[in-house]
């Protein structure tokens, strides 16, 4: 597992799952599993912008970019390329 | 199944019978809980007007007390219309301008401080509103923007950060909670109960402030789709100026429709989607009745589920670690 994925997983587990990560895989859909709601998306974006020194544009706020650990890692890789 | 039902057929109901049923339920509640009448806030909107009219049908005009609770950011039409409702129903009423209470609670200062986090030049003299945006396909993420308008008419839109969004919502919730505090003041002094005014769409989807407009002793129209509330309004003879007023939140200083802030579609279509989902009707039946395509109906259904999950907490009573059976109802 990459450092980025590890860090994202840690954030998701600590922020939304109160430290209980049972069943959370890198492919788990946050929306389908009810892990992240609209406030959670804002929390996630704030974390990514602060931690990775990126600016997430309005049009980038999509499930394709932010709905799983894998999609976030891919999104960050593109943003930092 | 209702393959060829029109929108109007799907939500049809017997207005006279429903009026009698609601009135009987209100009387039974008051009798059981030994309250002498009903207090409610009047906004000049369809829901509070129909609720007031039903309350009058149930217990008579002299046992219904209407409150007008505008503040300095309310639409001018709000007080004019709410007063016209009290006159139409001939109910006792009172004006409680909540601006001084909001000022004392720090609402205006807190709102400006939060708004400046995304629009640094924002001042108290600016008008503003929060707007929701939905992105993506069948599964969507939502985010919120603050739309600010300076006194010289310049518009600025900025995406809200988590902190700014939560602070703006928290500050704005003072409005609904202040109004509810006054409703209970009058209910206590009159020995009345408080009637809440949500319709089914608002109640189901959590479009209310916990311990604000979500608080009440009885919610007489929470089981009725908004389309049905309009039909009841016609049956009850609600003045046309109320029935023709577009639904508004009247919460922010810029005009804002409910479908701009919370619901994905105008209420007529939202009602049909919610009704179809609740009754297990096929998506294409609802799509035809609502003038939508099937994928859109499915997106709205997914959004309904998401809002139910997100707002479930708003419906909960305070949790206890252990039940206290001696006083639980």
pLDDT classification of B3: cutoffs 50, 70, 90: very low
Q: With contact defined as beta carbons under 8 Å apart, do B159 and A58 qualify? A: yes
The Cα–Cα gap between B9 and B142 comes to 33
Q: Which of B141, B159, B166 to mutate to test the interface with A (most CBs of A within 10 A)?
A: B141
Do A37 and B310 lie within an 8 Å CB cutoff?
yes
**B208 Cβ neighbours under 8 A, 6+ residues apart:** B176, B198, B202, B214, B314
- Region B10-21: what's the mean pLDDT? 96
Do A62 and B165 lie within an 8 Å CB cutoff?
no
Range picked from A42-51, B102-111, B254-263 for highest mean pLDDT: B102-111
Q: Hey, is B144 helix, strand or coil? A: strand
| ipTM confidence | 0.79
Hey, is the C-beta of B313 within 8 angstroms of any chain A C-beta? no
Burial class (CB in 10 A: 0-12, 13-18, 19+), B274: buried
Residues 16-75 of chain A with CB under 8 A from chain B are 29, 31-32, 34, 37-39, 41-43, 45-46, 58-59, 61-64, 66-67
Residues 122-161 of chain B with CB under 8 A from chain A are 133, 135-137, 139-144, 159-161
Q: What is the pTM of this model?
A: 0.89
Instruction: Please give the C-alpha separations between residue B230 and each of A22, A39, B201, in angstroms, as whole numbers.
Output: 48, 33, 13
- Whether the per-residue pLDDT at B140 is higher than 70: the answer is no
Sheet containing B127-136: which strands, arranged edge to edge?
B127-136, B140-149, B155-159
pLDDT classification of B1: cutoffs 50, 70, 90: very low
B158 vs B261: which has the higher pLDDT: B158
Distance of CA A16 to the CA centre of its chain: 11
> Which residues is B218 bridged to in the sheet?
B195
- Whether the per-residue pLDDT at B255 is higher than 60: the answer is yes
Condensed to tens digits (0 to 9), the pLDDT of residues B214-233 reads 999 999 999 999 999 999 99
The percentage of residues in chain B with a pLDDT greater than 90, rounded to a whole number, is: 80
Condensed to tens digits (0 to 9), the pLDDT of residues B142-191 reads 788 999 999 999 999 999 999 999 999 999 999 999 999 999 999 999 99
């Amino acid at each position: 597992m990459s450092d980025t994925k590890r860090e994202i997983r840690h954030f998701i587990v600590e922020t939304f799952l109160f430290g209980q990560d049972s069943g959370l895989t890198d492919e788990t859909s946050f929306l389908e599993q009810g892990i992240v709601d609209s406030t959670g998306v804002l929390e996630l974006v704030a974390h990514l912008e602060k931690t990775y020194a990126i600016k997430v544009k309005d049009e980038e706020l999509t499930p394709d970019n932010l709905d799983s650990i894998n999609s976030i890692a891919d999104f960050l890789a593109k943003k930092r390329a | 199944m209702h393959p060829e039902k029109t929108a109007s057929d799907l939500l049809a109901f017997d207005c006279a019978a429903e009026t009698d049923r609601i009135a009987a339920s209100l009387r039974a509640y008051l009798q059981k809980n030994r309250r002498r009448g009903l207090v409610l806030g009047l906004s000049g909107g369809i829901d509070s007007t129909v609720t007031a009219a039903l309350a009058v049908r149930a217990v008579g005009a002299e046992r219904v007390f209407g409150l007008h609770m505008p503040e300095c950011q309310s639409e001018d039409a709000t007080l004019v219309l709410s007063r016209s409702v009290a006159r139409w129903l001939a109910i006792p009423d009172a004006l409680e301008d909540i601006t001084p209470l909001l000022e004392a609670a720090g609402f205006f200062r807190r709102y400006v401080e939060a708004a400046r986090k995304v629009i640094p030049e924002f001042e108290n003299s600016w008008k503003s509103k929060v707007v929701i945006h939905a992105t993506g396909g069948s599964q969507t993420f939502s985010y919120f923007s603050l739309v600010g308008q300076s006194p010289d008419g310049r518009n600025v839109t900025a995406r809200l950060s988590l902190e700014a969004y939560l602070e703006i919502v928290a500050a704005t919730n003072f409005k609904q909670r202040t109004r509810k505090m006054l409703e209970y003041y009058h209910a206590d002094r009159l020995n009345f109960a408080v009637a809440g005014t949500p319709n089914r769409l608002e109640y189901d989807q959590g479009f209310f402030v916990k311990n604000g407009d979500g608080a009440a002793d009885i919610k007489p129209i929470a089981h009725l789709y908004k389309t049905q509330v309009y039909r009841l309004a016609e049956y009850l003879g609600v003045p046309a100026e109320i029935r023709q007023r577009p639904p508004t939140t009247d919460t922010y200083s810029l005009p804002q429709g409910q479908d701009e802030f919370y619901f994905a579609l105008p209420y007529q279509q939202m009602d049909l989607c919610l009704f179809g989902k609740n009754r297990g009707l096929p998506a294409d039946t609802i799509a035809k009745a609502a003038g939508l395509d099937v994928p859109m109906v499915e997106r709205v259904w997914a959004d309904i589920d998401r809002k139910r999950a997100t707002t479930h907490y708003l419906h909960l009573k305070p949790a206890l670690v252990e039940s206290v059976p001696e006083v639980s109802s």
